A and B are shown apart, each in its own frame.
Chain A
Amino acid sequence: MAWARNVLRVNLTEGTCKNEPLNMDWAQKYLGQRGLATKYLVEETDPKVDPLSPDNKMIMTTGPLTGTCASTAGRYSVVTKGALTGAIACSNSGGFFGNEMKNAGYDMIIFEGRAPEPVYLLVENENARLIDASEYWGKSVWDTEEGIKAKHQDPLIRVASIGVAGEKGVKFACVVNDMHRAAGRSGVGTVMGSKNLKAVAIRGTLGVSVEDVGAFMQATADGKQTLADNPVTGQGLPAFGTQVLMNVINEVGALPTRNHRDVQFDGAKNISAEAMAEPRADGKPNLVTNAACFGCTIACGRISTVERTHYTVAERPQYQIASGGLEYEAAWALGAATGVDDLDALTFANFICNEQGIDPISFGATVGAAMELYEEGAIGDEQTGGLEVRFGSAEALTQLAEQCGQGEGFGAEVGLGSKLLCEKYGKPELSMSVKGQEFPAYDSRGIQGMGLAYATANRGACHLRAYTVSSEILGVPEKTDPHVTEGKAGLVKAFQDATSAVDSTGLCVFTTFAWSLDDIAPQVNAACEGDWTAERLLEVGERIWNLERQYNTAAGFTGKDDTLPARLLKDAAKTGPAEGLTNGLDKMLPEYYEVRGWTADGVPSNETVERLAL
């Protein structure tokens, strides 16, 4: 129960769609979504495969709770070998697509091979077929989604697609569903583009069954009450969204600014949640309303507008709309990382990221790197086509968003990601990334635990693998000192394992601001056969983390890749409460390997592999 027990295997080379039973032995060990799809990828592909080769596979995957009435139970993930990183990639998205996929009767869809011509997959419950997508190739996510719904005369079809960026091989292209929700990181959209797969369109009406209906209704009702009663999930997130962090993180001196040259941004107040709520010249604020994904009782999403006289939209009514964003990570990357504090320019750039399917974190951070390359003279007008790519230039930001979205001009070079871009121009040290993936919005000189979290994140630098910010800054579940390294190895491991489990349920990780695994376990236990306790979920999470690590090891990553750019290890923070601090990764990493049960080289020991039954 809860699992649909059904996998749709789509061979794009052959043009076939076949159903097969879900491996329930694996489901009991890896639960679903992130964990279970990773197990399939590990078993079915060579970790050394070129991410853009037909031999790489891309798996869209739901969790056992996806599509149920549990709060936030609309999540799905895209699991593959990442185009940006060459590491395991698992990008998680909300919206409504995941629910539709589960209600069509599928736990996962495995895409293999490469279509000879662009196609999209249409799934109507048990009927799945590949359809010529030539009319949508070259079109944006927004046009593709609207076009497919119109073509099939069904506005309730849910669509996940790539934009032009994914077709053109932008390394951090994402898969966007429901117009502005994205499986955003690591270049999963690039992999989808390499398969000539433009979109997946699903209409599902089969429903989702659970093991014990009465217990499930009680457990999910209890969970919703906990979310409603918690001041963060009941009040803070719906009112201000994730963007409320902008001023917090700036105040604690951990807001990476201008490609991590600085840790505080003078313009932070102008791009914050508070600024989004301020009336502009037209009397209306940037923020229109909050929004919820399928089944969510938190509703942290932001829906906003660009002021109609702003240079980006004044002559372009198609962008005079209310659409998704800004969320904190995007606002940081498009703003502080580039030194741009024009809220409307950021909102517009974010629209373009959604429209053309590019990850705003990697895009903004790479623009920040490009700005430093430009200011250092490593690149000039010859490379940028005359565009002055200077810190603080809203014009540069928005033009590059449009170029990158189309895979054109200097935007195509930005689309390489910061690692390849900086290497190309002889300044590899200016790439603020781990394993090729750009940092998100927390500077690890001011939040020490995040340095270890980034260095060891299996998909490259990421805040969603171990969000120690929650403890180090926000005090959830308990406050720790962000400036010390002591205790952070255990903290990072605990967050990594718990998050791996949550990401495998079908639930949103934001529930964990109010829920612990003790709140989640009764919901999983009531829905799924087998005895699911918090302890078992944590063990599953640890198993998943180690499986991902084994994949990366087999792909060629070593402990030497568990590091940070020299800027964070050697150049001390210049201002704020962390002034004088570098990240103490060297103090945390050996202890982390030890608590993980890994060798000194960062490889899971035989004992650990045996203990976790990997």
Chain B
Amino acid sequence: MRVNVKLYALLSDYLPAGAEDNQVALDLDEGTTPEDVFARFNLPRQYCSIVLVNGIYVEPSERGSHRLSENDTLAVWPPVAGG
């Protein structure tokens, strides 16, 4: 299944070369979770703070069980804030 992965701020360093606009489209196995994607990119878990699937926040306790679906967008930020 096709999933769009976006990594922002400090996490953009973990994107593969050639990625544009902080995102890369991946072909993933059915049942892949956000945690699986973190592992695939070797993302330090303390930097996976804001995790959104299609703009909806995924609780830390659900990141290993939430099953991504075809055409989902997974977006991840380290701890950030603004105002």
Q: Which of A's residues lie within 8 Å of B, judged by CB?
A: 230-233, 235-237, 239-245, 247-248, 251-253, 269, 273-274, 328-329, 463-464, 467, 469-470, 473-476, 479, 509-510, 513, 576-577
Contact of A274 among B12, B57, B75, B78 (CB under 8 A): B12
What's the count of A-B pairs with C-beta under 8 Å?
91
Contact present for B81 and A236 (CB under 8 Å)? yes
Q: Check if B80 is an interface residue, CB within 8 A of chain A.
A: yes
CB distance from B83 to the nearest CB of A (A): 6
CB distance from B47 to the nearest CB of A (A): 8
Contact present for A240 and B80 (CB under 8 Å)? yes
CB distance from A85 to the nearest CB of B (A): 20
With contacts A273-B9, A474-B50, A479-B57 known, is A464 near B83, CB below 8 A?
yes
Q: Check if B33 is an interface residue, CB within 8 A of chain A.
A: no
Contact present for B55 and A513 (CB under 8 Å)? no
Q: Check if B28 is an interface residue, CB within 8 A of chain A.
A: no
Contact present for B82 and A242 (CB under 8 Å)? yes
The 5 tightest CB contacts between A and B, nearest first, are: A242-B82, A577-B55, A245-B82, A231-B79, A236-B80
Contact present for B82 and A244 (CB under 8 Å)? yes
Contact present for A248 and B22 (CB under 8 Å)? no
A-B contact pairs, 26 of them (CB 8 A): A231-B78, A232-B81, A235-B78, A235-B79, A236-B78, A236-B79, A237-B81, A239-B9, A239-B10, A240-B80, A242-B82, A243-B82, A247-B6, A248-B8, A248-B80, A269-B22, A274-B12, A329-B83, A463-B83, A467-B83, A470-B81, A473-B50, A475-B50, A510-B81, A510-B83, A513-B81
Contact present for B9 and A244 (CB under 8 Å)? yes
Contact present for A236 and B55 (CB under 8 Å)? no
| Chain B residues bordering chain A, tally (CB within 8 A) | 26
- In the complex the two chains form, what is the Cα distance from A450 to B49 in whole Å? 22
With contacts A240-B80, A243-B82 known, is A576 near B55, CB below 8 A?
yes
- In the complex the two chains form, what is the Cα distance from A232 to B81 in whole Å? 6
Residues of A within 8 A of B46 (CB): 231
Q: Check if B27 is an interface residue, CB within 8 A of chain A.
A: no
- Among B47, B54, B80, find the residue whose CB has the most chain A CB atoms closer than 10 A: B80
Interface residues of B in 1-42 (CB under 8 A from A): 6, 8-10, 12, 21-22
Q: Which of B's residues lie within 8 Å of A, judged by CB?
A: 6, 8-10, 12, 21-22, 46-47, 49-50, 52, 54-57, 59, 73, 75, 77-83
Residues of B within 8 A of A464 (CB): 83
Contact present for B9 and A274 (CB under 8 Å)? yes
Contact present for A474 and B52 (CB under 8 Å)? no
Residues of B within 8 A of A510 (CB): 81, 83
- Among B78, B79, B81, B82, find the residue whose CB has the most chain A CB atoms closer than 10 A: B82
- Which residue of chain A is the closest to B57 with respect to CB atoms? A479
Contact of B77 among A248, A269, A329, A467 (CB under 8 A): A248
- In the complex the two chains form, what is the Cα distance from A247 to B23 in whole Å? 12
Residues of B within 8 A of A470 (CB): 81
- In the complex the two chains form, what is the Cα distance from A284 to B71 in whole Å? 35
- In the complex the two chains form, what is the Cα distance from A544 to B25 in whole Å? 51
- Which residue of chain B is the closest to A474 with respect to CB atoms? B81
Contact present for A476 and B22 (CB under 8 Å)? no
Contact present for A247 and B82 (CB under 8 Å)? no
Residues of A within 8 A of B12 (CB): 274
- In the complex the two chains form, what is the Cα distance from A240 to B52 in whole Å? 19
- In the complex the two chains form, what is the Cα distance from A245 to B49 in whole Å? 13
- In the complex the two chains form, what is the Cα distance from A395 to B56 in whole Å? 36
- In the complex the two chains form, what is the Cα distance from A469 to B81 in whole Å? 9
Residues of B within 8 A of A233 (CB): 81
Contact present for A479 and B54 (CB under 8 Å)? no
- Which residue of chain A is the closest to B78 with respect to CB atoms? A236
- In the complex the two chains form, what is the Cα distance from A239 to B78 in whole Å? 11
Contact present for A476 and B81 (CB under 8 Å)? yes
- Which residue of chain B is the closest to A243 with respect to CB atoms? B82
- Which residue of chain A is the closest to B53 with respect to CB atoms? A577
Contact present for B83 and A509 (CB under 8 Å)? yes
Contact present for A474 and B59 (CB under 8 Å)? no
- In the complex the two chains form, what is the Cα distance from A325 to B10 in whole Å? 20
- Which residue of chain A is the closest to B46 with respect to CB atoms? A231
- In the complex the two chains form, what is the Cα distance from A231 to B9 in whole Å? 13
- In the complex the two chains form, what is the Cα distance from A253 to B59 in whole Å? 18
Residues of A within 8 A of B22 (CB): 247, 269, 274
CB distance from A207 to the nearest CB of B (A): 31
Residues of B within 8 A of A239 (CB): 9-10
Residues of A within 8 A of B52 (CB): 251-252
CB distance from A448 to the nearest CB of B (A): 14
Contact present for A236 and B83 (CB under 8 Å)? no
Residues of B within 8 A of A231 (CB): 46-47, 49, 78-79
Contact present for B80 and A252 (CB under 8 Å)? no
Contact present for A240 and B83 (CB under 8 Å)? no
With contacts A274-B12, A479-B57 known, is A251 near B75, CB below 8 A?
yes
- In the complex the two chains form, what is the Cα distance from A579 to B3 in whole Å? 21
Contact present for B80 and A244 (CB under 8 Å)? yes
- Among A231, A463, A479, find the residue whose CB has the most chain B CB atoms closer than 10 A: A231
With contacts A236-B9, A509-B83 known, is A269 near B21, CB below 8 A?
yes
